[in-house]
Structure formats: structure tokens, C-alpha cells
Structure 1
Amino acid sequence: MLQKIATCVTLLCSPILLGQTASSTELINEKLKNIPSPEKKRLSASRTSEKISLDGIIDEASWQNAELARDFTMHNPDNGKPLAYEKRTEVKVLYDDDAIYIGAMMYDDEPQKIMREITQRDDDGSTDFFGVSVNGYNDGQQEFRFLVTAAGVQWDANANSTTGEDTSWDAIWESNVKVTDQGWCAEIKLPYSALRFSKDKEKIWGIQFFRQLRRYRQLYTWNYVDNNKGTFEQQSGILNGLKDIKTPTRLFFFPYASFYENTNKITGAESQFKLGMDIKYGISDAFTLDAILVPDFGQTAFDNKILNLGPFEQQFNENRPFFTEGTDLFNKGNLFYSRRIGGRPSLRRGKLNEIKDENEILEDDYPEKINLLNAIKISGRTKQGLGIGFLNAITEKESVTMLDTVTQQRRKQIIEPLTNYNIITLDQRFNKNSSVTFVNTNVTRNGEFRDANVSALVFDLNTKKNTYNLSGDFKYIKINEFRDDPNKEGINTSLSFGETSGKIRFSVTGNYVTKKFDNNDLGINFQTNFLGTYGNINYRILKPNSIFNTFNSNMNVNTQIENTTGKLQGANVNFNFDATSKDNDGFGGGIFIRPTKIYDFYMPQVDRRYVQLPEYYEAWAYFSSNYNKKFALDFNPWGGTTSELGRNSYGFNISPRYRFSNKVSLILGYDYTKESNTIGIYDNDDITNIIFEKRDVTTSTLSLRSKIAINNKMTINVTSRYYWSYVESKDFKKLGEDGDLTYTNYSDLGSQDFSSWNLDCSYSWWIAPGSQLNVLYRNYSANSNEGLSRIDKDFSRNFNNLWGDNLNHTFSVSLRYFLDFNRVKNWI
């Protein structure tokens, strides 16, 4: 092995591989002083018939005659600065009938300082890394990024100039690395099935190589990327020389087997075994079909639920892989909130209480979610830049049992019918930096349940030099409520213009939303019936100076006017800045000012009623020390006050982290918030007698994340969260017709608390490319109390109650295996 490493170093340093003589060192040093050329660099790939061993050692003979890519320049923080010769990067590309191969040598005159933290897949951590971006159509729009860290951990993403990086996208590819006394080597194999490219006989691809020197927090690229011109995707180099290659049949199977054991002191133990399969099929060179035949989301991350005292629902992150991978097309226009699919029943429990008979009671537990039966999605983009996305999902019919306490008769009440969710997206890109998109979402429910259809036209236009942007949308919705409002229609439209280059940039936006715009069947929307205007101006430095590595400051001015009454429902200005020091510590802060009273039309939760909110002032700051150090700290204090005496709030978040070694790390977090004399709705059953509550709200959240990496294929992760929020009633106020609150002798009890606990301990092993074994132990509980006469603030008693009979235990094992049709065909 040592001999092989020595061979790698010798070849990389040889005149043949470098394409230069030893005396050319001075010429390279002189070249590095030159200003980067705006002309795109070109590199030719060399065909090989030799078997390339992916061992991180670049010693095959084919590498010697391949063309060399070098002369990297800094992307950030000092944009355009050449990479020093003693830390030069040299890259070569080979290809055969199955894949392209990238061999890279990252020289380093201090190899003992190369950072190599072992992390989970798609987490670069505190590491050096090398990566490549490939655009098979060379259109400056969309590319696939593959990155391998100096610890051998893979990271990949689907990236485009509009929505940025989608790291939930995962491809099947291979890589290996090796650290030497000259630096470190990386070998990457990208099968053609992981890429998208045209059918042209001779391919011309966009390509970019990049390298991070983590200890300096510096990112370098092969083709110079000007931070003041365009996007990363539009400034790649050119890869040519690829001839007579074809995309293989892209048919992949992901069979899985899962076992779950659920235990609770009250309900006892319950076991479940699942078998299923996901399928990915390349319909053409550009389009891919994904299908889940038997869904299994039992090992997705838990939701961080809170005590929600506001008028709007809590929005949760999507943790199901099918709905996170490659969904950039479906997110156009912000009409898609995937948690609607398989979410809460359409007939809410409160609505059920309204329509049930007087003597009826609910005999079953009310389900929190609906089962997903199956889902498919088709997505891709043609050579002409037309992106097409189609997603369809079906959820099953769900009923509950109602018992008549007088007659003892039972009946089934449908709370969610068989439901079809559908999205179609057509996205045309042009000029390498602009797009026009049509989006349609449709939810169809069987029977007399609500149906909804939303259509949108979205545009994003940029000047040729990427100096100005004009963007906007027009959204139209039609809902069939069957009973309440059979023809509900609404509009949401916006227009924005801004300067997108230079040190000083600005944008102005107008937004108009009608009262009946409600896209919450497959999207999420909180506010309607307003006219909004928004303005932003910001200043940034484009290169480090004597004080800052980076600096960015913003001023935002926003207003919203309610359409029906013309009253001001939003008015604020805020100033903020973010910076990093020369030691790569991050810090910043800002102030938020609402200089006048506004009217909240949502808090009363009654149509045409509103409550006045006073002037408000808030300030915050944050500090985030350099994560390269073993010990790092994040700290974020804030405080706010109103024009009303005693009505204020404050809080802080503190999160220390410690990296014991490249394999073991620990992150703690504590978040505390205190709101004094705040107000919130308490009772609105009678629209003429709307009662608000004056209250104090105290919230604490304690979290822990720990990682133990056995190697770059196996990790053990522990994640826990303890949340506790309690409300102490002060007095009650009645809402007047003008939005004022006046004291009332309402005597009900309003104090309440909510606490929750989650713990996940997981073992993950990537047993082969695309194949993973997961073992998970989870326990969780929640406790909620309302109408308390007093709040017990004793932490230990609250925690013990939470860990009592409510604690649920889940143990699960899941094996997901990747099968390539081409390999299976050869087996057969």
C-alpha cells in the first residue's frame, strides 16, 4: 500500500502528468499573478479502455496522457485571488462506455493540517473537500454537483440558478480519497446514469471543479467565478472530447424491508413488518419517473411541535425523501406544501363536533394523519430548456365511529375521502439566466368534500449581464366547497424589480391578494385580502478588507393595507448586518421598528373583526465563533418592547459545540423566551362577545445532537429535544368594534402548559452505493394541560410527568437496497 501511495505522488509530480518541466515552476508562479481571464477555460476528456480502480490513488497509466486542469482562483472570500503554488490543485478527466472519472490532486505544504471530520452523507462538516459540477447541456442553468471530503464522505446536489442547491437529491456514484505527504488525492466515478446530457455524438458539457481549504475558510474554483457577475452555474468551464457515449437504461429498484416494535405502558406492544419498493426509471435522457409503491416513512425525523397560541397553523419541515428529492420544479411559485399530502383530515375535529347529532360521541381516537397509498413524479428538462414536472399522489379514505349514547347505535363518519393530489409544472428557461413558468395544482376529493384548483404564471427575467432582475407572478384559485361557498375564487399577484450586482443593490416589490385566495389544500398561506409594498437596499463588500472577510448590511421597509377597510395591517422598517471577522468568527445584529399602531385581522379569528396592536421595537445580536476550532459557540440575545407599559419580551439562544475528534462531536442548545403582558384570543364562540386574554408566556427548549462516526460509511447519531411552554393568565379583555380592548370580569381560567420530549438514537450503515441499513430507537411523549388555576413551574416534576405513562417507545430496523437493472440483467 505504501508503495502504491508513493507511486501516486511520483506520477502526480512527474513532468509527463503535469505537462511541464521542472524549470517551469517560475512560469507558473508568474502566471498565478495574472488577473483571471473572463474567457471560459476548456478541458478535453480522454477515453480509456483501462480499468480504473477507485482507491484514491491516481496510478493507472491512462491518467498520464490526460489533459490537466489547473490554475484555480478563489471564489470567496477574496474573489479572484490565485491559489498559491504550494497548494495548487490539478485535475484530469477520463471516460469509457459506462462513466466519467475525475482524478484530482490537492497539494498542501502542511498536510498534517488538512481538516478531515467524518460526518454523515451530504454534510461537509469541518473538512477540506474537492468537488465537480456537471452540466450535460452546457446551458448555464442546471447542474449536478458531486463533492467528496478529505475524510471520504460524499455530498451531492441538484443545483440551478433560480432555487440554488437541492441537497436532498441523491445519486449513485463512487469515490475514494487518500492523504499523502504532498496533500491528498481524490478519485470520482460518475456513471452516465447519474447525469443528464444530450444525444449529440460529440458532447460539450459545462464543468466546474472546486476545492475548499477549510482551515482558511476559502473556496477555490477552476474556471473563475466573478461574484459580481451572474450565478455560479453560468460561469463554469467547458469539457469536450466526449464521443460515442450513450445513457444506459436508467431503471433502478430500491426494495426495502422494515420492522417496527411500538411499546406504551397503556396500550402495550405492537409489531409491524413492511415490504415495499421504490422505482426510478429514466423515460428518456432528460426525464425520470419516480414511484413509491408501498410507502414507508416510519424512520423520518420527528416534528418539533410547539404550544401554538397564534391564529395560524404551525408549519413543519418535510422529512419524507420522496417529497424532498428533486422537487425544485414543484416549488415554483410557492404553491406546494407537501405536508398536505397525508396530513390532517379535511374534516377537522372541531367541525365534526358542529355537524354530529346532539347525543353522539366520538368513539375512536381521532387520527392525526391520513395514509398515503402511492405517489409518482416525473421530472426533467429538454435540451431546449423546457422543464416538465408532474406529481400525483393518492391518500386513502378515512372514517371514525360515532356512538349515539341514547340508542347505542353506531355509524361511520367520513373525515377524509379518497383524495387525489396533482401538480403540473412547465418551466421554460432562456438566455441562460431567465425563466417563465406555468404551475397548476389540483386537489380532488371524492364525494361532497372540498376540491381546489390553483394556476399560476411565474416569471424571472434577468438582463444579459445579470445586473437587473424583473420577477413576478399571477395566481388564480377556484374552490368548490359544495356547501359553504360553491364558487370561491381568488387572486394573488406580485411584481418585483431590483438591481442584482455591485456593492449596493436594491429591490422594490408590490403584492396584491384578494380575500378569497386560499391555496391551503396543497399549499400554505396565512394572510389574504391586502395590498403590500416592500423595499430593500443593501450594501456588501466584494473583497475582504483590513477588518472583515465578509460584510453585508440591509434596510427593509414593508407596509400592508387591508383591502376592505383600508386599515394598516403591517408597517415596519428594519436594519441588520452580517459579517465575518479575519478570524472567521461570524457576528451581526439589527433593529426592527413598527413606528405606528396596526390592525390585526387574523387574531380574533372572526370575519371582519380586528384588534389594534401597539407600536413595537426590537433589537437583536448574534455571535458565531469559527467552527474550525474544537470548541465553538453560538449566542443570540434579543429583546423587544411596545408603547404599552410592561408589555415586552426578551429571550436568547445559546449553543456550545465541541468536536472531541474527527469522529465524535456534541452540540447542545438552549432557547429561552419570555413574553410579558402579551395578548391572545381566548374565546370567540359569540362573535359579539370576543374575549382576549392578557398573559405571560414562558418557553424553554433544550436540545442535544451527538455524532459518533465509526468510519465514513457508519455513524451513530443521537438527537433529543425537550420543550416546555406555559401560559399564566393575568386578566381578560373584551374586543371592541374599533379594535380596542377593554377590561371585563370574565372569570374563566386561561392558564395552560404544553411540554414534549423526543429522543432518536440511530445507527446508519451505507453497506453499498445507494444501499443503507438503519437501526433506530425512538421514545417520545407530550403532555398538555388547559384551564389550570396555577402553573407548576418545578422543572423536575414537569419532566417526571412527561416521562410517566405517556412515554412511547419505538424500535425499528430498515434495510433499503439499490439494484441497477443493467447489473440485474447481467446476473440473469
Structure 2
Amino acid sequence: MSKFQSAALIFLIFYSFNTYSQKKVLLAKSTTENITIDGKINEEIWKTESVATDFVMFQPDNGKPINTNKKTEVKVLYDNNAIYIAALLYDNEPDKIKKEITNRDVFGVSDNFSVYINGFNDGQQDFRFFVSSAGVQMDCLATEDSEDFTWDAIWDSEVTLTDFGWVVEIKIPYAALRFSNADKQTWGLNFMREIKRDVQKYTWNRVDTKIGAVIPQAGILEGIKNIKTPTRLFLIPYSSAYYQENDIGSGTTFKAGLDIKYGINDSFTLDAILVPDFGQTKFDNAILNLEPFEQKLDENRPFFTEGTDLFNKGGLFYSRRIGGAPSTEPIIAANEEIINYPSTVDLLNAVKVSGRTEKGLGIGFLNAVTEKTYATIRDNDTNETRKEVIEPLTNYNVLVFDQRFNQNSSVSFVNTNTTRNGGFRDANVSALLFDLSTKENTYNLYGDFKYSSINAIEDYDGFKTSLNFEKTSGKYRYILSGKYLSKDYDINDLGIIFYTNYHNAYANASYRILNPTKVFNTFKIEQEVNLEIQNTTGKLQEGWYKSVIKATSRNNDYFELALIINPLETFDFYEPRKNGRYLQIPRKITSYFGTEFNSNNAFTFDFTPSFTIYDQDDRITYGLALGPKYRFNDKFSLFYVLDYTRKKNDRGWVAFDNMGIIFAERNREILQNDITGKYALNNKMTINLTARYYWSYSENHDFFTLQDNGHLVQNNNYSMNKNRNFNSWNFDLSYSWWFAPGSEISILYRNYAQESTRDVEKNLSTNFKNVFDSNLTNIFSISLRYFIDYNVVKNKF
């Protein structure tokens, strides 16, 4: 090769690298013209010359330019109130565009277009807005770790289907975004287009999948300058009416309240709820819980799900603690009984302030107050009743400082505090977190130090620390991590944790393809090793090897195969329910195989068989989860899920007696049936069905006494009935109409029942009948919430 050829080659490589990595820039044009969001893009101002085009495939064939017959063009305008986005999405087969109508934040089988906005251009968090070809809105707050679709902004969009494809027009008020107060704005920006039938996603600025971080690979939006944003004050009054009846009686309840959202400035927002009403939130999935820990419940209350990304830093905040179960039980005499013990505590009010400064400092503050709560106790000799406080007036606080820098790194401080009035338990937890990535997003170092302090009858402190190193780019990636938790580390007053008092070492290595092959669109194999050693005894608490293969075929069918081997004897320090005692757990092997067929088909199906074999007396667990789904048309679909588990010769704690800790060998079955249905009258109005039937039993056939060495010996003297049979039924049928942005009318019919007994009934139809013969509760409710923009009201008057 000549010197000239060598120089030319070096130049081409250098030029290609710089071109390949160069960020695209789009210029937003100022407008004073009134933009009507109708999906027609017929205003004169849209004839601006700055166009985002030349999209590049993100998945599956990363880096491939979009076909000319799928050309995509996007333009951006702005004024003092909002930014406006117009997208022309060409398609040479417009009759094949997928356009299922779904509920908000549900993608379904539809093409969609999205805009990713980072108002600080710090490469760490996106505000993402999606519009489907059916006109349905989806939105989320996104970091590299997650997409939070519980966040809902108020914005406007309209879609038009045309003979050349489809058109999207979007208006995003500044109130839905966060950005600095600089006169000249520079935002991170990317657009994504998903073509559902081809299972392809394209972005405007190329996102290289060799690099683990997506957000820093956005393009740039310039041109927004000297905007004078309006006052961000929104009032959301609501009222609701409930009619409830059960075997005890019936009654009617009326509620009214107010949510307030106030923009302190363009970066910070205050949210407050006064007289909260969560009567129409999704029901909790009750189960037969035989574990030594409480059941962790999903959060369904909007205030505690929307925009809480800052408060979830460090994993110290479990919002179901606020308004959850009381923290104490009353002390009663032998001749007394508790006749009323509220299962939850009422929330009086809550407020949160969150945002980020121009220099990348995120600040979050959340405060909530719950009501003083009593249990009612009856004296069985005199029939007199008395009340005892089981939860005093309680104040909950979360404070977060999160400093971002270098487009991909951060250092955070988190504090949670629970203060109960009077002589009840108080708690304070603090954490320092760091997350550091190299400039090229190739390697990542992250870790934490957390400290808890409990003020109770006996005060105690504890701590947790961890360090993790990860390779985050390329086909081959790995993670190395270790952590230590002290015995008295406790975050359960405002967080949730089950296992403490151990140290851990973990390693993960993975390989993935970055572009499709002849067989696979995606393919990934992971190998994991995990060891946990209990601090006090030095015994192995957990030790396993795991191998997982995940793949998507060229037909868009998904497969997952896993093998988990526990080759060593381990010890459970929680199942005995007594401090210092432990149970020996035998060696075991677990495996599962999951399949989900192409979700684009009208009929799709997924199933996952699984099993666990123990090295112990014919002990085995096996299960099957399957879920057929049928989409009758773009408006109507039904989805059924069956989840069945059988545990043969399972072993678990059942009681304490004068001989010690009693365990049982038992057979268990768990059956859950879920039916979800949707009928969309249009993209603003839907009828939804959610039904769940759960049945589980535990039938003991042998009893044992736990020895000091963790092993069990036969106990032929124990004869108490500790069997369990549990049924739970939930049914929700709702109508929802978003008649204006942020404003909704919803009508809900709900019934539910639970039945629990010591008598095991193995006939499914009898169980189903029994749960309906128990105290079935019926609720009919109507709720109205109305979004009021202070600026609209001000302009009218």
C-alpha cells in the first residue's frame, strides 16, 4: 500500500468516525401564528426549511438507513407557551399500517411516533412523548435504567391517516417539560418511529447499540430563545360518589378534593393533594402468604407514581408505607378481644417538590401526613368497649439531592424520615450514592453507603454498602459487584427490605448480537454467579449459578430459557421466625422455558413451564403460566392468563409450641386466573374489564421440630390443624372518557370477596362457589376530575 493510499485510508476512517458520531442539529423556528392541533399541518409557518430527516434503524438492524418509501420528516416550532412538532411519516403501503386503539400509555399493535426531549441536554433523563397511528398518547420519564410510564403530562396531539402514510401534530406545553432559565436554550432531542408490522424502530440521531447508554446519543435542538413562559398553575378539582353494599348493609359516600400543580419556575414543580380519594385505583392482588415477610404491593395511587423518579433513588422509598397498615397492635387482657382493627391508615395530605437546576442539581422533597388511627377493644365480661391508638399522627419525609455531570454520571444524597407523634417508633435513613461512567460510556462504577437509625423501645443503628463495576458496551459485557449489610440495617418504616446481616459477591457475563442474523433478530446469553454469606454464623445463605438465553426470531417470536443450579446446602435465617435460628435448605435445580409468539398477530399466545427439583424426599415444584390473547379488531381485545403452581412436599413454618419451632411438610397448589378486556369507542373513550380469581391451599401431612443445627426431626405429637384454604375474587368493569386534556369522567362497577378457612377444599367449582357465598361486596362509583389551567381562566376574565 502506497503512502498516499495509507493517508487516504486514515483520513476516511477518521472522517467516517467523526461523521458517524456527530450529533445532528435541528433548528426550532419561532411563531406568533396560532397553531391548531388537527393533524393537517396547513399553517403557513410550517414551511420552515429546517427538517429532521434521514432516520437510521435502531432495532433490529442497527445503523441501517431508513428505506426511501418510509421517509420521515419532522419540524419544530415554538412560542411562549409550548413547542409544536409536525411529523410526516411516509409509507408505501398505508393500508397495512397497524393502528390498534388502546388505553393511554398502552402501545398495543400500532405504529407510533415519539419525541425524546432533554431540556438540560445533560444526557441523563428524557421526557418522552409517543403518539400511535390510532391517536393514542403515551408518555414517560426515562433514564438509562427505566421508563416510568406512570408519569402523565398534559399535552395535545392529533393524527391523520393519508394516502401516503400518516401525519402527527403535537403540542407540548412548557409545563410538561423541565429546562433551564437561560435566554438561549439548547436541548437534547431525538425522534423515534416504530413500524410495527416490520418490527423496526428508527431514530433521527443514530443510537449505536454497541454503547449501553441511549440518552447521551440524542441530537440537538437549537433556536429556542428569549421565551417568556406563562405561570404554571394548574388546579384539578374532583368529586366522586360511591354506593356500596354487602351482607352487613349498604351506604352512600360522597367525596371531593383538589390536586394542585404549581411551577415554581421552569425547572421546579410543586404537587399537592388535599383530601385525597383513591377509591378507583386498581385493586391489590391478595394471595395466601405463607412467607415470613409481608406481601409487597404495587403502587396504584397516581400521586405516588407520577414523577417520582428522584424519590426512588437508592431504593429507600416504598410509598405503600404511607397510608398502609398500622405499625402496632394493641395490648389486650385475657378477657378482651379486638373487634375493629383498621387495615389501613387514612392519608390526610401530601406534597412534593421536584426539579433540577441549570447546573444539573436535582432536588426532591416529599412530605405526607397520616391520621391518628384507633383499634376498638371489647371487654367480654362487661361488654364495654375502649379504643387504643395503633398508629399516631405520623409525618413522612423524603429529601433527595442528585448532582449530574459529564452527561452520564451522578452523585446523590437521599434521606427518609418517619416521625410518629408521642412515644411511638421513629426512623431516619440516609444514603450516599455514586454512578460514574467513562466518557465513551464503555465502563461504569457505581455504589452506595446507607445508614439507618431507629428510635424505639431499644434504639439501634445499621448500615449497608455496595460497590459495582460494569462493562456497558460491545457484544461482550460483564458486571462484578459486592455488598455488605449489617444485622440492624432497617429501612422498613418508609422503605422495604427483607434480608439483612449478610455479605455478597456477584458476577455476570453476557454476550449479545448487535445486528440480526439469518435466524435471530436479537440474541443474548447471560451467565451469573451469586454467593451470600450470613455475617453472624458465616453460613451460606444463598449460592447459585444461573444461565439464561433470550432470543427473538426473525418472525418476532420471543424465547427465553433459564437454568439455575444451587449446588450447595444453604440456610434460611427467616423462615423459623425467631432470631438466631435457621433452617437448612437442600440443594436444588430450577429451570423454565418461556415463549411468546408474535404479538402483531390477531391471535397470540405465550406460555412458560417451570420446575424446581430438591435433593430432599421427593420434593418438587412445577408450574405453568399461559396466556392466549385475541384481538378481534382494532377496538376490541381479550386477554386471559392462567398461572398454576404445584408444590409437592414443600416445607415451612407453622407454629411455636412448648417443644420449640414446628415445621410442616405440606402439599400446596396455587391457581390464578386473570381476564383483561378492552373495547375502545375511540382514542379518548374506553370500556375496560379486569377480573381475577385466585385460589390456594396448603395441606400439611407431617410435622417436624426444628433443631439447633437447622435440620428437622419428626414430631408425631403435634396435631393442631394448620391447613389453609384461601380464595380471592376481584372484578372491575369501568368506563373512562378523557373529554379534555387532563379531564376525565370514569364510571366503575366493582365487586370483590375473600374466603379463608382451615378446611382444605380441592374441588375448584366448590371453591369458586364458596368465595361468592362469602361476604361479597359491590361498589358502584362515578368520578369526575377537571383540569383547570390558571392562564386560560385568567385570559377569559
Displacement of 1:409 = 4.0
* d(CA) in 2 for partners of 1:616, 1:752: 26
Correspondence for 1:357 = 333
C-alpha separation between the residues in 1 aligned to 2:17 and 2:335? 86
Aligned equivalent of 1:281: 262
- Corresponding residue number in structure 1 for 2:125: 142
Partner of 1:231: 213
Check conservation: 2:754, 2:774, Cα contact below 8 A.
Answer: no
**In structure 1, what is the equivalent of residue 745 of structure 2?**
773
Q: Which moved more, 1:798-807 or 1:441-450?
A: 798-807
Matches within 5 A, 1:143-182: 143-161=126-144, 163-182=145-164
**Aligned-residue offset at 1:42:** 0.8
**1:338, CA displacement in angstroms?**
0.4
Give 3-state SS (helix, strand or coil) of 2:312's partner.
helix
The counterpart of 2:353, out of the listed 378, 382, 387, is 378
The alignment partner of 2:313 has SS state of: helix
Find the aligned partners of 1:229 and 1:794 in 2 and give their Cα distance. Answer: 54
User: 1:606-755 residue pairs with structure 2 within 5 A?
Assistant: 606-686=578-658, 689-745=660-716, 746-755=718-727
Paired position in structure 2 for 1:4: none
**1:256-284 deviation per Cα after TM superposition (whole angstroms, max 9, x unaligned):** 010111110x2211110011100000111
Residue 823 (1) aligns with residue 785 (2): no
Give the deviation of 1:685 after TM superposition.
4.8
How many residue pairs get aligned? The number is 781
Find the aligned partners of 2:241 and 2:268 in 1 and give their Cα distance. Answer: 34
Corresponding residue for residue 319 of structure 1: 300
The aligned amino acid for 2:181 is K
Q: What do residues 358-401 of structure 1 show as CA deviations (whole Å, max 9, x unaligned)? A: 222223x2111000000000000011000000000000001122
Residue pair 2:181, 2:358 contacting (<8 A) in 1 also: no
Aligned to 2:434: 459
| TM-score (ref. length: structure 2) | 0.97
Confirm or deny that 1:429 pairs with 2:429: no
SS of the equivalent of 1:357 reads coil
- CA separation in 2, counterparts of 1:732 and 1:278? 55
**1:35, 1:80 within 8 Å by CA — same for their partners in 2?**
no
CA contact (8 A) 1:104 1:186 kept: yes
* Alpha-carbon separation, structure 1, partners of 2:225 and 2:546: 55
Aligned partners of 1:732 and 1:744: how far apart in 2?
Answer: 5
1:10 is aligned to none
DSSP-derived class of the 2:35 partner? coil
Task: Determine the C-alpha separation between the residues in 1 that align with 2:49 and 2:749.
Answer: 50
- How far apart are 1:407 and its partner, in Å? 4.2
> For residues 158 and 590 of structure 1, what CA distance do their matches in structure 2 show?
31
Write the deviation string for residues 511-558 of structure 1: whole angstroms up to 9, x where unpaired: 111111111100000011111111111111111111110011111111
Give the 3-state SS of the residue equivalent to 1:200 in structure 2: coil
Query: C-alpha deviations, 1:737-759, integer Å up to 9, x for none?
Result: 11110111111222211010000
What's 1:305 paired with?
286
One-letter amino acid of the structure 2 residue matched with residue 743 of structure 1: Q
- Partners of 2:647 and 2:87 in 1: how far apart? 55
How far has the Cα of 1:403 moved from its partner? 2.2
Match of 2:223 among 226, 233, 241: 241
Amino acid at match of 2:226: D
Query: Equivalents in 2 of 1:583, 1:530: separation in Å?
Result: 45
Contact between 2:627 and 2:641, CA under 8 Å: does it hold in 1? yes
1:46-65 map, 5 Å = 46-65=29-48
SS in 2 for 1:392: strand
Counterpart in the other structure of 1:45: 28
Question: Which 10-residue stretch deviates more, 803-812 or 377-386?
Answer: 803-812
Deviation at 1:805, TM superposition (A): 3.9
Deviations 1:215-261 (A, max 9, x none): 11111000111112252211111111222212211100000010111
CA pair 403-294 structure 1, distance change in 2 beyond 3 A: same
Instruction: Report the secondary structure of 1:202's partner residue.
Output: coil
TM-score after normalising by structure 1: 0.93
Question: Considering only aligned residues, what root-mean-square deviation do their CA atoms show, in Å?
Answer: 1.3
Q: 1:211 aligns with which of 179, 190, 193?
A: 193
Q: Show structure 2 runs of 5+ residues with no match.
A: 1-15
Contact 2:341 2:376 in 1 (8 A): no
Paired with 1:511 and 1:684, the residues of 2 have a C-alpha distance of: 34
Equivalent residue for 2:79, pick from 85, 96, 99: 96
Worse overlay, 291-300 or 402-411: 402-411
Residue type of the partner of 1:172? I
2:726 aligned counterpart, secondary structure: strand
Stretches (4+) displaced over 6 A: 33-36
C-alpha separation in 2, matches of 1:796 and 1:589:
34
- Could you tell me which of 143, 165, 187 is aligned with 1:183? 165
Task: Give the structure 2 partner of residue 593 of structure 1.
Answer: 565
3-state SS, counterpart of residue 203 of structure 1: coil
Give the match's secondary structure for 1:596: coil
CA distance in 2, matches of 1:233, 1:143: 7
> Does 2:469 match 1:469?
no
Corresponding letter in the other structure for 1:93: V
C-alpha contact 1:766 1:772 (8 A) present in aligned 2: yes
Structure 1 position 36, deviation (Å) = 6.7
Q: Name the CA distance, whole Å, in 2 between partners of 1:95 and 1:749.
A: 71
646-655 vs 40-49, greater mean Cα deviation: 40-49
Query: 1:581 is matched with which residue?
Result: 553
Residues 134-183 of structure 1 deviation map (CA, whole Å, 9 limit, x = unaligned): 1222221222111111000011111223x422111111111101111100
Following superposition, the deviation at residue 305 of structure 1 comes to 1.1
Matches of 1:345 and 1:286, distance apart in 2: 37
Unaligned runs of 5+ in 1: 1-32
Distance 1:743 1:209 in 2: 66
CA distance change for structure 1 residues 35 and 705 in 2, over 3 Å: closer, same or farther? farther
Q: Is the 8 A contact 1:209 1:221 kept in 2?
A: yes
Judge conservation of contact 2:750–2:779 (CA < 8 Å) in 1. Answer: yes
* Structure 2 partner of 1:29: none
Q: State whether residues 36 and 224 of structure 1, in contact with CA within 8 Å, keep that contact through their aligned partners in structure 2.
A: no
Task: Tell me which residue corresponds to 1:11.
Answer: none
Aligned to 1:541: 513
**1:6 alignment partner in structure 2:** none
**AA in 1 matched with 2:284:** D
Pairwise mapping of residues 76-115 of structure 1 onto structure 2 (< 5 A)?
A: 76-115=59-98
- Contact preservation (8 Å) 1:392, 1:421: yes
From 769, 773, 794, the equivalent of 1:800 is: 769
Name the residue aligned to 2:12.
none
Aligned to 1:15: none
TM superposition shift of 1:827: 2.4
Whole-Å Cα distance in 1 between the matches of residues 774 and 623 of structure 2?
32
Equivalent position amino acid for 1:588 in 2: E
CA contact (8 A) 1:230 1:465 kept: no
**Equivalent in the alignment of 2:783:** 814
Greater Cα shift, 744-753 or 114-123? 744-753
Using a 3 Å threshold, how does the CA distance of structure 1 residues 113 and 612 change in structure 2: closer, same or farther? same
State how far apart, in whole Å, the 2-side matches of 1:201 and 1:401 are: 61
Retained in 1: the 8 A contact 2:236–2:786? yes
CA contact (8 A) 2:752 2:777 kept: yes
- Find the counterpart in structure 2 of residue 12 from structure 1: none
Aligned-pair identity in percent equals 54
1:220 to 183, 196, 202: 202
